[in-house]
């Protein structure tokens, strides 16, 4: 069972570079989420989606963009990487109950 | 807006019982979730409350009072492997599915 798959697991970016964090789920869930987690802190919601073609901002959307062209995929785009975006990023999906999480992407911006 | 509060850290003894509290103030409510997260790992689901009362799952129980904006997670017969962070999360109402987390409570279980 694949569940929620995130790639890459680790990445180092230079300031000003761009990248896309990939997230795919095979459970046919409508809801998908992107969170970031800084050391010793909880999860902060970046963006979320209630279905294909529909996305909305969370608590900390600045510096990020998302798209949801299919039910399965929910990529997160960083256009101009900044040191403040150094964090662990988690993607999650849910139907109408609990959310299932990917294993995370550890991103460092130097 | 939404505000979710939990204690930052707690310490308990192996074999004991510990209660982790969570208070929330949200514009809407469609369920409260508890997750466990070990260091360096992804959160894993523990429990879900949408109606008032107690939900029991083995050594873990979760309680909800919607009128008080209050929940707690009760862990019984603590084991060393229960040392982890425990995250409280609230889902918004309606069809948004928006899921907001508190800052988490780091529990250290000592022998």
Backbone angles phi, psi at B81, to 5 degrees: -70, -10
70-109 in B: which are within 8 Å (CB) of A?
87, 89, 95-104, 106
| B33 contacts A98? CB cut-off 8 A | yes
Please tell me whether residue B58 adopts helix, strand or coil conformation. coil
Distance from CA of B103 to the nearest CA of A (A): 4
Instruction: Indicate whether B95 pLDDT > 80.
Output: no
Residues of B in contact with A35 (CB under 8 A): 101
| Least confident span in A25-29, A94-98, A101-105 | A94-98
Q: B25 at the A interface (CB within 8 A)?
A: no
Tokens 């529909």: give the residue.
A54
Comparing CA positions, the residue from A9, A88, A94 lying closest to residue B45 is A94
Average pLDDT rounded to a whole number, residues A72-77: 98
Contact A46, A61 (CB under 8 A): yes
Task: Please give the pLDDT value at position B97.
Answer: 78
Backbone angles phi, psi at A83, to 5 degrees: -55, -30
* pLDDT tens digits, one per residue of A14-42: 999 999 999 999 999 999 999 999 988 89
* pLDDT tens digits, one per residue of B21-79: 999 998 888 899 999 999 999 999 999 999 999 999 999 999 999 999 999 999 999 99
Instruction: Closest CB to B97: pick one of A42, A48, A102.
Output: A48
Instruction: Indicate whether B96 pLDDT > 80.
Output: no
* Residue in A71, A98, A104 to test binding to B, most B beta-carbons within 10 Å: A98
The residue ranges of DSSP E strands in B1-111, in sequence order, are 2-5, 9-13, 18-26, 32-37, 44-49, 53-57, 60-65, 70-75, 84-91, 99-101, 105-110
Say how far apart CA B25 and CA B99 lie, in whole Å. 13
Query: What pLDDT band is residue A11 in, cutting at 50, 70 and 90?
Result: very high
| A42 contacts B99? CB cut-off 8 A | no
Instruction: Closest CB to A99: pick one of B99, B104, B106.
Output: B99
């Amino acid at each position: 069972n694949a569940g929620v798959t995130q790639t890459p697991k680790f990445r180092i970016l230079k300031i000003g570079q761009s990248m896309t964090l990939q997230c795919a789920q095979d459970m046919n869930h409508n809801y998908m989420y992107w969170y970031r987690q800084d050391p010793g802190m909880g999860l902060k919601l970046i963006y979320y989606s209630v279905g294909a073609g529909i996305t909305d901002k969370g608590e900390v959307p600045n510096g990020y963009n998302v798209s949801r062209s299919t039910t399965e995929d929910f990529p997160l785009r960083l256009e101009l990487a900044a040191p403040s975006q150094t964090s662990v990023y988690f993607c999650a999906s849910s139907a109408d109950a609990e959310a299932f999480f990917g294993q995370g992407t550890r991103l460092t911006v130097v | 807006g939404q505000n979710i509060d939990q204690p930052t850290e707690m310490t308990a003894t192996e074999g004991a019982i510990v209660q982790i509290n969570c208070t929330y103030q949200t514009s809407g409510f469609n369920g409260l979730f508890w997750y466990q997260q070990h260091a360096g790992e992804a959160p894993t689901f523990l429990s879900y409350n949408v109606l008032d009362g107690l939900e029991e799952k083995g050594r873990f129980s979760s309680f909800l009072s919607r009128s008080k904006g209050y929940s707690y997670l009760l862990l019984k017969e603590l084991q060393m492997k229960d040392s982890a962070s425990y995250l409280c999360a609230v889902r918004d109402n309606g069809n948004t599915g928006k899921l907001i987390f508190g800052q988490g409570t780091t529990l250290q279980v000592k022998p």
